[in-house]
Structure 1
Amino acid sequence: MTRQSLPLNAIHAFIVTARHLNLTHAATELCLTQGAVSRKIAALEAWLSFPLFERHARGLKLTPQGAALLPELKSGFEQMLNATGKARKSNTSVRLKAPTCAMRWLLPKLMALEQMRPEIHVSLTTTVDHSNQLDNFDAAIVYGAPLEKGWRLFDEELTPVISGSLLKQQTIAPQDLTHFTFLHPTADSADWQLWLRAQQLEITMKRNQHFATMDLAISAAIQGYGVTVADVTLIQSDLATQRLVAPFSSSVKTGAVYSLLQRPDKDAPPFLTELVAWLCLEGNPFISATAGG
């Protein structure tokens, strides 16, 4: 070991051993054998050319030189840990999980945030799993029953929508829907039946097409394949650009909600709080303040 090479591993072993004044305890913390810790201490003593510990039957005691050196080494080691920790965090993305059905609402918000705050990096993973677990993610949008903890983004509220190219007249009656193929966001007809019951209607669905997600059913409706029921929040941009038309003013809440979970502050990466605040803020004006839990 040369004078020019700073023995960082040995310094760390010295700091831990000085805290315990016991080789066995130090070895346990360092996940090393007692002999390995002793060798690291001996190597550092050889590098410094003076002893760091006095060995006694009851344990270790710092020598005057070791006691004088310890505070500065601890301070320097902590500064290195803090500096590398900050550097690592500054290059960390916020890991966000979201169901595919929420993409029509989520992606425009993430694009707007990127334009205003390019330093906030979001790593987005989509899923068809609606479990309310963070797993290995920093935040997760979940769909289902209201949660006791987390942010309530919006309630699911359904209304029929159809491509304007399929409408031969500006206004239609609910019974006119029988002329179209019914596009179902799920494997059953539950969403359609919920809306029909709310209107006290019974309609024979002659032609049907079922999809795995609401997003797929909405996309099919935009392409003119039929009429679907869709969440009014998810289709806001489609209605604004007239890719879709909502022929009826009535809607029905399903009882399901879109919620947002986040990792506790102590485990959170940089900018997680700002991302959460942005997604939870109505209208998404520029923000710099953080949001509470």
Structure 2
Amino acid sequence: MSRSALPLNAIHAFLVTARHLNLTRAASELCITQGAVSRKIATLESWLGFALFTRHARGLHLTEQGAALLPELQQGFAMLVNATEKASRSNASIRLKAPTCAMHWLVPRLVALEQQRPDIHVALTTTLDHGSQLDNFDAAIVFGPSPAGSICLFEERLTPVMASSVTPPTQIGELAKFTFLHPTPDSRDWQLWLAGLDAALPMARNQHFATMDLAISAAIQGFGITVADVTLVQNDVVNGRLIAPFATSVATGASYSLLQRAEKDAPPFLPELVAWLSEV
């Protein structure tokens, strides 16, 4: 390999593997196979002309030369990451990550923000990981216990909702005749709501979804009745797409919270986005 072709991807693989000293965990973080990690490290070893790791029964060990090289590569790679992140923050694009379950609440707010402030561009990335952190994003909405330093947007409160075209039940017992739409592969959200009312129901017909937004969409189409967060479905209820037949909602103890990048590292207009989303 030409000495001028510095293998940056291989350096990244080396840094991740050196942190874990385990090919399986390194491959998981890099989202590639163990074989691919090994090939990247071999590429870097070939470029350098010496081995970086030795294999042992309990995992990997850095060689003496690999251990000596590691701190300088860590420092150099961090400088590259910081430089590229700084260049990325130089424009008005705000990188926002949010769980798909928040889309019914989030998208109308982003549309309204764009209408009022066309100079603010939000690059939205959705995820199924409710508890993920900022990673390489400028802001992130997370679900669950509120992380330290985050802004609590709203607490989760569950209530049944269904399409407005369907005749609603007047008593809890009448729910048994509907198809139950579950926002998760198990039935925990429905069970939380029923437990809050000290009630139990037979559930003869059930459909399970991976996320709450999918269950809400199915309810809007008249597929059945789901239990959903009252804040997430607020716009759908106001616009007549859904009805909430019961006034009772049950707090789950979880929250939707907003994490943001530190002010010194923040892109332009991030404070405006945070203020906008905080006005629930």
TM bucket, shorter chain: 0.5 to 0.7
* Structure 1 match to 2:110: 110
Structure 2 Cα separation of the partners of residues 102 and 206 of structure 1? 29
Tell me the alpha carbon deviations over residues 220-274 of structure 1, each in whole angstroms, 9 at most, x when there is no partner. Answer: 0010110100000000111111111111010101111000000001111111111
- 8 Å contact kept, 2:169–2:175: no
* Structure 2 match to 1:52: none
Structure 1 Cα separation of the partners of residues 87 and 258 of structure 2? 28
TM-score by length of 1: 0.64
* Structure 1 match to 2:245: 247
Tell me the alpha carbon deviations over residues 21-78 of structure 1, each in whole angstroms, 9 at most, x when there is no partner. Answer: xxxxxxxxxxxxxxxxxxxxxxxxxxxxxxxxxxxxxxxxxxxxxxxxxxxxxxxxxx
Tell me the alpha carbon deviations over residues 71-125 of structure 1, each in whole angstroms, 9 at most, x when there is no partner. Answer: xxxxxxxxxxxxxxx9975534110000000011111111111111111111000
Return the letter of the residue paired with 1:235: V
CA gap 1:206/1:87 in 2 versus in 1, 3 angstroms: closer
Structure 2 Cα separation of the partners of residues 162 and 174 of structure 1? 14
* Structure 2 match to 1:98: 98
Matched, 1:206 2:204: yes
Q: Which runs of 5+ in 2 are unaligned?
A: 1-85
How large is the Cα RMSD of the aligned pairs?
A: 1.8
Deviation at 1:171, TM superposition (A): 5.1
For residues 20-59 of structure 1, what are the structure 2 equivalents within 5 Å?
none
Question: What SS does the corresponding residue of 2:200 show, helix, strand or coil?
Answer: coil
Structure number with greater Rg is 1
| Count of aligned positions | 196
- 8 Å contact kept, 2:92–2:269: no
Question: What SS does the corresponding residue of 1:165 show, helix, strand or coil?
Answer: coil
CA gap 1:172/1:268 in 2 versus in 1, 3 angstroms: same
* Structure 1 match to 2:173: 175
Return the letter of the residue paired with 1:267: D
Structure 2 Cα separation of the partners of residues 229 and 166 of structure 1? 16
Tell me the alpha carbon deviations over residues 152-186 of structure 1, each in whole angstroms, 9 at most, x when there is no partner. Answer: 0000000001112221xx65211101111000000
* Structure 2 match to 1:219: 217
Structure 2 Cα separation of the partners of residues 126 and 276 of structure 1? 17
* Structure 1 match to 2:278: 280
Structure 1 Cα separation of the partners of residues 88 and 196 of structure 2? 53
Matched, 1:186 2:184: yes
- 8 Å contact kept, 2:161–2:225: yes
* Structure 2 match to 1:238: 236
Deviation at 1:132, TM superposition (A): 3.7
* Structure 1 match to 2:160: 160
Structure 1 Cα separation of the partners of residues 93 and 218 of structure 2? 33
CA gap 1:87/1:254 in 2 versus in 1, 3 angstroms: closer
For residue 268 of structure 1, the aligned residue among 266, 269, 280 is: 266
Structure 1 Cα separation of the partners of residues 253 and 276 of structure 2? 24
* Structure 1 match to 2:131: 131
Q: Which runs of 5+ in 1 are unaligned?
A: 1-85, 283-293
Structure 1 Cα separation of the partners of residues 180 and 88 of structure 2? 51
